[in-house]
Structure 1
Amino acid sequence: MDRFRQARRKWLGEESEGPDASYQPLEGGSEGPDGEPIEHPAQQEFSWIDYLIFMLLGVAMLWAWNMFLAAAPYFQHRFASNEWLLRNFQSAELSVSTVGSFGSIIVLTKLQARASYPKRIIASLAINLIVFVFLAMSTRLFLGVSAGVYFAFLMTVVLGTSLAAALCQNGLFAYVSGFGREEYTQAIMIGQGIAGVLPCIAQIVSVLSVPERKAELGAPQESSTSAFAYFLTATVISTISLVAFVYLRSRHGSREHIRHALESDESGIGSESEDTKAVPLTRLLHKLSWLGGAVFLVYTITMMFPVFTGQIISVRDQVSAPRLFHPSSFIPLAFLFWNIGDLLGRLLPAIPALSLTAHPRILLILAISRLVFIPMYFLCNIGGKGAKIDSDAFYLLVVQVLFGISNGYVGSNCMMGFVEWVDVDEREAAGSFMSLCLVAGLTVGSFLSFLAAGS
């Protein structure tokens, strides 16, 4: 064990000898300033039911986000009469969403004392349910409103979903951290990956299942009928997730039972306890600086891909190409390939040999290296102006899939590994802190995406 500690301190840039070595955690636990191990409670027994419910909640967390991205062709049709909105609505979506989420996350993080994380999760699902109903109605009612009016409506519902995302991010990662099992955190990350895949599939199916009509004003065409069915599926996802979470809460009893479990040295569950510990952000920043920085950079760089993906079309001749390669279906197809890669990346840390949760510095290096994918988009057919590499396979399989894998792999390692670097009573606060870093990266990346939109 002493050799293990010395090797770890050497990797972290510390002195391997002497009582003055600064505090650093052990893999799978923590140690005090003098090297004594800090005992962690025994983990709660693994449950596949809990695992699947957390996966479903991960789906619900990012369903709205990915739905707005995959529905780009429909929104392009609605904004076809306004050139500025047509070119910038997606960057505006990203900015409004991430700024709303970031501001909400900051407030929620400061309110960690006396926080009721389950209530935050329930509130987020209820908000999404209401928003999706309004979106579905918008495909049937007021179809003649101007592009500016519909843009105002869209930004309003995007802001609503950003609040829901913040509540879910903050509540769910804090809640799951109390279980003390990385598998459940990975289930959430996998669910987020699935949330990227399913909306794209639903969008492609909805487009191909409706007879094609001639596009007007050169905008990609998407029927109101397919959009209605598409948005309606989101209400179903939110409803099922809400019922599943209520069931999960019933499985683990009341907050008195949870408090008793904690006092009995058993694994606690993130709860609505009135005595939730407030942990200074400076302490969390000190312990989680590498992981927090890595997850921040991962999602800052990732935010470039939605704008490029919404602009890149197939290199095939649009007149003779199969319908799948028309913009209304090719754009969701490109999102699908990216999200398939993202989902694969989220699955990789489940293989012990590929897990990097004990190596935060490597994760930071990998996060920075993802910048190489940005210039690769300029080799593709942006706006139909021609591609430097005249191949849809290069765009879909090399750029989209690999960029997605890198996002899922590095992001999942960061969000799974933070519990190894904090004390047990800091887990919930650490979960909120990592969510803050994640949303901060999304926010910064969303503003940088305007540069990509104007390229």
Structure 2
Amino acid sequence: MDRIRRVFERETSRASYEPLEGGSERPDGERIEHGIGPGFSWIDYSVFLMLGVAMLWAWNMFLAAAPYFQKRFESDERLLRNFQSAELSVSTVGNLGSMIILTKLQARASYPKRIIASLALNIGVFTLLAMSTRLFLDVSAGLYFAFLMLVVFGASLATALCQNGVFAYVSGFGQEEYTQGIMTGQGIAGVLPCVAQIISVLSVPEKETKKGAPQESSTSAFAYFLTATVISTMALVAFVYLLSRHSSRERIKHTLDEDQVDTGCASTGRKTVPLLRLLKKLFWMAGAVFLAFAVTMIFPVFTQRILSVREPASAPRLFRPSSFIPLAFLFWNIGDLIGRVAPGLPGLSMTSHPRLLFILAICRVVFIPMYLLCNIGGKGAKISSDAFYLIVVQLLFGVSNGYLGSNCMMGFVEWVDPDEREAAGGFMSLCLVAGLTAGSFLSFFAAGA
């Protein structure tokens, strides 16, 4: 029996490191306790929540502002039909390119500086966008399109810096709750811009045009775009406060091996982790987050084209295009927020089942034909019900996105060594952005549907 036992022990020692379901162990059998060190802090959680809001506020602001951009492009049918897909593609390509470069520069990265730079860039970009609603009203549709793409590209660079910096920075705390706070903040960033957009539209008298395009005044657009500047400023102040907290720095030091921490300059002790090694350890979670967000990118194109089944002339103003489109985005983002919060509740986390997350990500393609049953472009719906579109399609599609994304971004720390967490955070955010980029190019096919 002793000989048999030694054989099995040798086989076990050759096996590659892989966490057990519900926990993880080192190759020598010692259990890895995640989150060792100083305990959870609601102050730190609130700051990461705010950073999550700032991270995706700009992205969701562009989506919810579709009626205003439709007004600016109504004189050019080609731009009116394709501006949303072009917006998504420019944003995701800029984001992905930046993420690739930032991931390769992980060894000497200063993640706090990246976060601060991203928020400062957002402040400048969206101040300029707000000014454009007052100063550039008479420019041609083509010229405004070029300006919009430039602004979108600048915002994508800021988002890349923020995503790479925040997910890498938070992973050093060893607290999954903080990552869940970021994901919840991203969900809030989807809800509030839609609410602001609906309020700004309903608070200003409606204008009719010859073509009947959804209308929104420049005054309401100015107030709406300026909120992005305010949110980024608030997040910048909150993050500077976080950096000033001695306890925050100590939490990061406790999550790394002591022999790799240089108290004078932490970045000099960070080792470069090969992306191939991270891919092997995080294959299922990385694949799940990639597929989930690739499929998700279909929804903005359909959402800005699907109208209420009610007659526009007699429908309440909330169901007219200028309000109904942001209302549909609101339902999707409420679902997304619910999905992001759910993994933080006991019994709803699936971080120990990465293969199941991967399968669920594939199953989300069922929502694409469901959009085709709705009132696309006012041509009529196979299922003539706004409730079906808003609740069954938009809300549930959002729930699935938030739930899968939150599980993947919370759970990756269970599958890597402590000194690989920062690099793994950057790698997972890279996979997320890669999924968004792939989906943005596929959205051109949806635009022609």
Q: TM-score range by the shorter chain?
A: over 0.9
Mapped partners of 1:61, 1:41: distance in 2: 24
Residues 1:247 and 2:238 are matched in the alignment: no
Match of 1:215 in 2: 209
Residues 1:322 and 2:316 are matched in the alignment: yes
| Unaligned stretches of 5+ residues in structure 2 | 1-8
Mapped partners of 1:389, 1:260: distance in 2: 56
What letter is aligned with 2:415?
W
Match of 1:12 in 2: none
Q: How does 1:3-42 map to 2 (within 5 A)?
A: 18-26=12-20, 30-37=24-31, 42=36
Match of 1:430 in 2: 424
Task: Confirm or deny: 8 A CA contact 1:44 1:266 kept in the other structure.
Answer: no
**Which residue of the other structure, out of 379, 386, 395, is the alignment partner of 1:392?**
386
Mapped partners of 1:379, 1:41: distance in 2: 47
Moved more, 244-253 or 318-327: 244-253
Give 1:36 deviation, angstroms: 4.3
Moved more, 260-269 or 275-284: 260-269
Residues 1:101 and 2:95 are matched in the alignment: yes
What letter is aligned with 1:353?
G
Mapped partners of 2:396, 2:49: distance in 1: 23
Question: What secondary structure, in the 3-state scheme, does the structure 2 residue paired with 1:428 have?
Answer: helix
Mapped partners of 1:69, 1:28: distance in 2: 38
Match of 2:326 in 1: 332
Mapped partners of 2:132, 2:388: distance in 1: 37
Moved more, 33-42 or 96-105: 33-42
- The superposition leaves residues 137-161 of structure 1 with CA deviations (integer Å, 9 ceiling, x where unpaired) of 0000021000000000000000000
Match of 1:54 in 2: 48
Task: Confirm or deny: 8 A CA contact 2:349 2:407 kept in the other structure.
Answer: yes
Give 1:217 deviation, angstroms: 2.5
- The superposition leaves residues 399-451 of structure 1 with CA deviations (integer Å, 9 ceiling, x where unpaired) of 00000000000110000000000010000000000001000000000000000
Give 1:213 deviation, angstroms: 1.2
- The superposition leaves residues 253-306 of structure 1 with CA deviations (integer Å, 9 ceiling, x where unpaired) of 79699658856699999x962322210001100100000000000000000000
Do the aligned partners of residues 407 and 395 (structure 1) sit closer, same or farther apart at CA in structure 2, a change above 3 Å counting?
same
Q: How does 1:329-408 map to 2 (within 5 A)?
A: 329-408=323-402
Question: What secondary structure, in the 3-state scheme, does the structure 1 residue paired with 2:94 have?
Answer: helix
Give 1:248 deviation, angstroms: 0.5
Number of residues of Structure 1 aligned to a counterpart in Structure 2: 440
Mapped partners of 1:353, 1:268: distance in 2: 39
What letter is aligned with 1:448?
L
Match of 1:83 in 2: 77
Task: Confirm or deny: 8 A CA contact 2:91 2:152 kept in the other structure.
Answer: yes
Do the aligned partners of residues 253 and 23 (structure 1) sit closer, same or farther apart at CA in structure 2, a change above 3 Å counting?
closer
What letter is aligned with 2:239?
F
Moved more, 207-216 or 20-29: 20-29
What letter is aligned with 2:198?
I
Match of 2:114 in 1: 120
Do the aligned partners of residues 282 and 56 (structure 1) sit closer, same or farther apart at CA in structure 2, a change above 3 Å counting?
same
Mapped partners of 1:226, 1:84: distance in 2: 26
Mapped partners of 1:94, 1:343: distance in 2: 21
Do the aligned partners of residues 184 and 16 (structure 1) sit closer, same or farther apart at CA in structure 2, a change above 3 Å counting?
farther
Identity of aligned pairs, percent? 76
Task: Confirm or deny: 8 A CA contact 2:309 2:386 kept in the other structure.
Answer: yes
Give 1:23 deviation, angstroms: 1.9
**Which residue of the other structure, out of 143, 167, 172, is the alignment partner of 1:149?**
143
Match of 1:3 in 2: none
Do the aligned partners of residues 295 and 267 (structure 1) sit closer, same or farther apart at CA in structure 2, a change above 3 Å counting?
farther
| TM-score after normalising by structure 2 | 0.94
What letter is aligned with 1:231?
F
Mapped partners of 2:148, 2:108: distance in 1: 34
Question: What secondary structure, in the 3-state scheme, does the structure 2 residue paired with 1:24 have?
Answer: coil
- The superposition leaves residues 17-70 of structure 1 with CA deviations (integer Å, 9 ceiling, x where unpaired) of 744332212357643445444566723311111111100100000000000000
Moved more, 424-433 or 212-221: 212-221
Mapped partners of 1:195, 1:19: distance in 2: 46
Give 1:350 deviation, angstroms: 1.1
Match of 1:44 in 2: 38
Mapped partners of 1:402, 1:255: distance in 2: 39
RMSD over equivalenced CA pairs, Å: 2.3
**Which residue of the other structure, out of 383, 403, 406, is the alignment partner of 1:409?**
403
Moved more, 257-266 or 360-369: 257-266
Task: Confirm or deny: 8 A CA contact 2:164 2:425 kept in the other structure.
Answer: yes
Residues 1:140 and 2:134 are matched in the alignment: yes
Moved more, 180-189 or 32-41: 32-41
Mapped partners of 2:309, 2:40: distance in 1: 48
Question: What secondary structure, in the 3-state scheme, does the structure 1 residue paired with 2:304 have?
Answer: helix
Question: What secondary structure, in the 3-state scheme, does the structure 1 residue paired with 2:96 have?
Answer: helix
Poorly superposed stretches of 4+, deviation over 6 Å: 253-257, 265-269
Match of 2:3 in 1: none
Match of 2:221 in 1: 227
Mapped partners of 1:16, 1:441: distance in 2: 40
Question: What secondary structure, in the 3-state scheme, does the structure 1 residue paired with 2:267 have?
Answer: coil
Mapped partners of 2:220, 2:212: distance in 1: 19
What letter is aligned with 1:144?
D
